[in-house]
Amino acid sequence: MPASTDDARVARVIARFELLTREDVPRLGEIYTDDALFKDPFNEVEGLAAVQAVFAHMFDALDEPRFVVQDAVVQGDQCLLTWDFLFRFKRYRYELQKVRGASHLRFAADGRIALHRDYWDAAEELYEKLPAIGALMRWLKRRASR
């Protein structure tokens, strides 16, 4: 079930994330501050241009990337979103992939995102799905669980 919220800031962010296209990347300043901080398992950047570059790279590297927000919890100027990220690998042309994760957002006084921190398990959600490295990751996971 898609997330819903009465908080206008969060509703705007969810709508933007779920409908995000390559053409929207230059307009991310509508939801991110000029000095926004962004961190995920692959990136740690500061500033709107750097955040835009992360999203632009996503569209360069993947086919059909999209977010489906599942839940939203809001307290004051902070929000936690849980989401599914759906995409296809460009290089490998596999079936639709899904990464499950969460985002911690902190809003500035003007309602835009000042801090965006994504949490997801790159090993389980991404590396295990790749040829060669996936087999190694699955083997390591089995060995570690013994």
What is the CATH code of the structural domain delimited by 8-120? Answer: 3.10.450.50
Task: Give backbone dihedrals phi and psi of 90, rounded to 5 degrees, phi first.
Answer: -65, -45
Predicted pLDDT of residue 90:
81
The residue extents of the domains of the chain are 8-120
Split at pLDDT 50, 70, 90, the class of 45 is: very high
What are 17-33's pLDDT values in tens digits?
Answer: 999 999 999 999 999 99
Predicted pLDDT of residue 125:
54
Over residues 110-129, the mean pLDDT reads 81
Q: What average pLDDT is seen over the chain? A: 87
